[in-house]
Amino acid sequence: MGTNRWPKSLHGQAEALLGGVRAIGRKKGSVDQRFIRGIGAWDVYRRDIHRFVEFLQRTGQCDLRQALRVSGYVRTYIAGRGQALRDAGGSFQTIEREISALTKLSHALDVYTERHGGESAADIRTVLSEEKAHWRTELAARSAGYTTRAYPDPEGLYAAIPDPALRLQARLMGETGCRAEGVGAPARGSNPLTAANLLGFGTDPISGDAVGCITVTEKGGKQTEHFVDPATYRELTDYIAEHGLLASPYRTFLRAVEAAARATGQYAPGRGTHGLKHSFAQSRMHEAVESGMSHEEAMQTVANEIAHNRMDSVDIYMR
């Protein structure tokens, strides 16, 4: 196996391998699907891969190209990470992201091998697939309790809000992932939902189910489209038909959400209304992956839906 000016440090080797699959900004379909096209995914995967490399350094492993040996360490590493997450009440989403990162590393190894010769990384992917199936059954789909800003039981929270307008606003936040200003409760000024925000029925791009479609104006005047359950859409349509608009002062909305959180045992300082956005992002991310999307595709889809667009922003909502 030639050296090809191969770095001595494991971190340097990881960077060399990742450089071989970097395709930032390239259009989907124009490059090998194993390559990394998004800057957000690049940052997330690099971080997780270098964490694995730190583990490898402690084992005495000195060459990432030894894919067969590395596959054994991958199993040990993921098993340890899974156990730590289980003990801490962490979620499957976290280890799923790390498995996706190491899958990209295996693809980078294969690309290197195709160019310079060496060992296939197929065994690494086999190990990752087996560990993924195992930890899917061992860990909760998403974090529960107060280890996350998301509300563990958003349906219970909605039901505990007595005012129909405020309850509808909370449900819209939880089903769309938009901010409070997007559901008619801006911290400043006025931004009501009216008939102009109703787009009719369509198809959910992830599940394929029938959904109601709305457009909202969020922070900075950004216009975003969202999907809601048909029953929620009909409720919104009926409310606007009767009252002309859906709106409330932000403080009133916040107090209603926090009161419902206390009543249902979900209150935690800092959760506020934004916790509903976290609940949406975690649920939607899980739904996207379960539908067959890659972790990278799911992150980008959710980033777009929560109006952040940058893929790495989704990581914040997984906590």
φ, ψ dihedrals at 3, nearest 5°: -80, -35
Q: Which secondary structure element, helix H or strand E, spans residue 234, and what is its range?
A: helix 230-243
Give the long-range contacts of residues 129-135, CB within 8 A, separation 24 or more: 130/75, 131/74, 131/75, 131/78, 131/79, 131/82, 131/99, 132/95, 132/96, 132/99, 134/82, 135/78, 135/82, 135/85, 135/92, 135/95
Residues found in the chain:
319
In this prediction, residue 297 carries a pLDDT of 83
Distance between CA atoms of 221 and 106, rounded to whole angstroms?
42
Q: How confident is the model at residue 300 (pLDDT cuts 50, 70, 90)?
A: confident
User: Which whole number is the average pLDDT over 147-153?
Assistant: 80
The beta-strand segments (E) located in 185-236 are 198-203, 210-217, 223-228
Least Cα distance to 17 among 102, 108, 103 occurs for 108
Q: How confident is the model at residue 286 (pLDDT cuts 50, 70, 90)?
A: confident
CA 73 → CA 55, 76, 79, 295, distances in Å? 9, 5, 10, 22
Residue 3 has pLDDT above 80, yes or no: no
Residue 299 has pLDDT above 50, yes or no: yes
Q: How confident is the model at residue 237 (pLDDT cuts 50, 70, 90)?
A: very high
User: Whole-model pTM?
Assistant: 0.60
Higher local confidence (pLDDT), 199 or 46:
199
Higher local confidence (pLDDT), 18 or 47:
18
CA 280 → CA 68, 122, 149, 274, 319, distances in Å? 40, 35, 11, 10, 12
Which amino acid is located at 186 in the chain?
P
Tokens linked to 87: 């003990």
In this prediction, residue 104 carries a pLDDT of 94
In this prediction, residue 142 carries a pLDDT of 55
Residue 1 has pLDDT above 60, yes or no: no
User: Which whole number is the average pLDDT over 217-243?
Assistant: 93
Distance between CA atoms of 80 and 85, rounded to whole angstroms?
9
Percent of the chain with pLDDT over 70: 94
- pLDDT tens figures, 102-131: 999 999 999 999 999 999 999 999 999 999
In this prediction, residue 2 carries a pLDDT of 45
User: Which whole number is the average pLDDT over 141-150?
Assistant: 60
φ, ψ dihedrals at 193, nearest 5°: -90, 130
Distance between CA atoms of 153 and 133, rounded to whole angstroms?
26
Tokens linked to 109: 């190894």
In this prediction, residue 212 carries a pLDDT of 97
Provide the 8-state DSSP code for 60: T
CA atoms within 13 A on the CB side of 154: 27
Work out the number of other CB atoms within 10 angstroms of the CB of residue 22.
16
Tokens linked to 251: 């403080």
Higher local confidence (pLDDT), 238 or 137:
238
Least Cα distance to 91 among 46, 153, 150, 173 occurs for 150
Give the long-range contacts of residues 272-275, CB within 8 A, separation 24 or more: 273/170, 273/173, 273/180, 273/185, 274/149, 274/179, 274/180, 275/149, 275/150, 275/151
In this prediction, residue 144 carries a pLDDT of 45
